[in-house]
Each structure stands twice: as structure tokens, then as C-alpha cells.
Amino acid sequence: MTLCKLRLAIVTTHPIQYYAPVFRALAQQEALELRVFYTAAQAANEKRHDPGFGRAVEWDIPVLDGYPHEFVANGAERPRSDRFPWPADPKLNAAIAAWQADALLVYGWNAHGHLGAMRYFKGRVPIFFRGDSTLLDPLPWWRRVFRRALLTWVYRHVDVAIAVGSNNGDYYRWCGLSPERIESVPHSVDTARFAADEAEQTARAARLRDGFGIAADAIVFLFAGKFQPKKSPDLLIAAFVQLLVGPGAGLPLHLVLVGNGELEPGLKARAAAEPRIHFLPFQNQTAMPAVYRLGDVFILPSGGPGETWGLALNEAMASGRPIIASSRVGGARDLVEPGKTGWTFDAGDRDRLVAALAEAASAQRESLRRMGEHARIASTQWSTEACARRIGAIIQSRIAVC
């Protein structure tokens, strides 16, 4: 008996370390035949300049292995343009049509060719959509009205939107999608990779702490990401300094900031007088499991705009660390269980951030470890495997091709 497979075409811009594991897991499902169409990158393993880090980035984990894919060259000056117009890309549409896809899953609509593909294939094959936009960032009333009108039109070209979390689901409903056109599949990371080799990664983290001269009994707060305004690392430094002269005075506390970016010179200048603030440059993916264990608590203080999820939170939790996140971080609503997996604070409110830091600082290390273990267990809900299973089940349930 020959198994009839559903042919799923995925459209996305370029290889991303978060998406590749999901694509591999989808490709292993017996009921699916998968092909990923990349619309921005023109070479398989090219380094890409990341403006947030201010440097070229080439991931040191495989992002193209284990699933069929092709790069569709396009002539756009800015292939990932987020400005009008959003033209159709005949080469992309032709490539998908030639492959004879039964369904289309589009990641993001405002890149070159993506909306054009949604419009071209609407009514020909079912259109599934995956994005992570939210309504968390305030807008002037006139921009909000314009945005809603535009997005209501855009999402008319989508049959089913696959929400990454609660805030994203609210966004789709605001855009006019009815409940039956919204499915939920939480954002994911490769939790198994971050949870693996605990003893080895803990030993590597201990060596990093030793390199900074941090005592074994000290509590370390960790930030890892781009040093850019939306991430608010300056707020974190100010809150940590306030903690040291206030409720955390006399406690063995340290702050480590990992990354690079435009704010780096100013951040280092502000921290120069405080020896308990340390910096580590950008660390690639294979180093991150140890980096997360370098800290006892991970913090994402973002004020936005545009912190639509914050996948570093997932990675920290999978590494067994409790988290602190601001109210503008899209994933905080789903990931933070107060007192169990971490704490939240109102974005931009330094005093509230200090209070969250103080509560974590006053906890016994064993208490933080228990919270970290709870976070690790909770993180399995957002694993690569769980994400792929759910996406595959949704697509199969909506389509009958055999």
C-alpha cells in the first residue's frame, strides 16, 4: 500500500536556528512531504550581517540539514523589505506551483514575495500562516486604525493562522480572524539541546564564572542578546546598581551581559565603576547552554517596540534557569508562572525591576534551583518536537488529499 503524502511548501526568508529544528521534525512525519522555499538568502551557508549585533553571524549549528529546501533568487533591492509595495515574486510562485504543493505555510507576510504568494495561491491551496506579532506596543490612534485596516485585508488571504502564544492569538483576533481560523502552537526552541549534558555544561559555566572572579556562592543575573534600545540593557544596569545600594546591599551579587551591539560603548562606560558587572561578547549557539548556566536567573527587560516573543526565555528555561521578563516581552504571558518559573515587571519601571531582582536575590540558591527545575520541565511544552507534531496535525486535519 502506497502512503499518500501531503505536500507542504514552507515560505520563509532565510535559515534561522529556531526554525530549522522544526523543519527537520516536520520532514520526518510520514504523512508529510516537505519543501522549504527560502526567499532572502542567496547562498546556502553565507554569513549574514546582523545589524542588531553589529557583526556578521554564521550559526555554528546546522540550519540546512535534514529537510528539503531551495533558495529562490529574487531581484529585490531589500529582499526583507517591510515597506510598500509588497510585490509578487514570479520565480517564487512558479517554484511552488512546479512542486505541486497541497498546502502553503508562510512565515511572515511583509518580506519580498510572501504576500504575493499568499494572494496568488489563495483559493488554489490552503494558506497557513505563522508569525509572532502582538498588540503590546502602544501606537497613536491613527496608526492603530490604519494598521488594523491594512492587516484585516492582509489576513483575508490566510485560511488558518497558527498563533505562537496568547498575545499573538489576541493580535489575530484583532485583525479580524474568527476563532475557527486560529490555531495555537507555542513558539519553540530545541529544548533537548539546551537540557543535555548537564554536568559538562555546568562545568563549563563554572569555568566562565571563575574567569570573572565570581565566587561559587554568588548569585548571578544574566542578560544575553543584542545591545540595542528595544532590549533595554541600560535599564537592567541601572536597576542592578540600585539593587546593590538598596535591598541587595551586602549580598554576593553579580550581573553578566552577553552580546554586542550599538549600545555597547555606553553600557560599558556606565558599568565601569562597578566591578560586579561583567561583559561577554556574542556567543554562538554551541556555547549558549553553558552561558545560560553561568547565571542563576535570566533577565529579558525589553521595553520594545518589537519584542514579539523573546526566545532566549525558552532557552534559559530549558537550561534550568528561572526568568525575569518585562510586560512588553511577548512570551512572558505564557512562560512566566509567578513564583514558579520566574517574575514579571512593568516594562520601563526600574523600581519594579529592582523589586523583582531583590526577590530573586533574597531567595536561597536551593530555591532558585527548584524554580529552575520547574522552568526546565515547563519548557518541554515549547519543544521542537511538540511544535512540529502540532503543526503537522493541524495541517493534516484541515486538508484531505487522498
Map out the domains of the chain as residue ranges: 6-188+383-398, 191-382
Query: What pLDDT sits at residue 175?
Result: 97
Query: What pLDDT sits at residue 81?
Result: 45
CATH topology identical between 6-188+383-398 and 191-382: yes
Measured distance CA(240)–CA(323) in Å, rounded:
15
CB 298, CB 313: distance < 8 Å = yes
Query: What pLDDT sits at residue 43?
Result: 47
pLDDT digits (tens, 9 = 90+) for 95-121: 999 999 999 999 999 988 999 999 999
Class at the top of the CATH hierarchy for domain 191-382 = alpha beta
pLDDT digits (tens, 9 = 90+) for 46-98: 566 566 555 566 777 899 999 999 999 765 555 554 445 567 889 999 999 99
CATH topology of domain 6-188+383-398: Rossmann fold (3.40.50)
Distance of CA 372 to the CA centre of its chain: 20
CB 282, CB 50: distance < 8 Å = no
Across 232-243, average pLDDT: 98
Average pLDDT score over the chain: 92
Measured distance CA(402)–CA(400) in Å, rounded:
6
Query: What pLDDT sits at residue 86?
Result: 61
Across 160-181, average pLDDT: 98
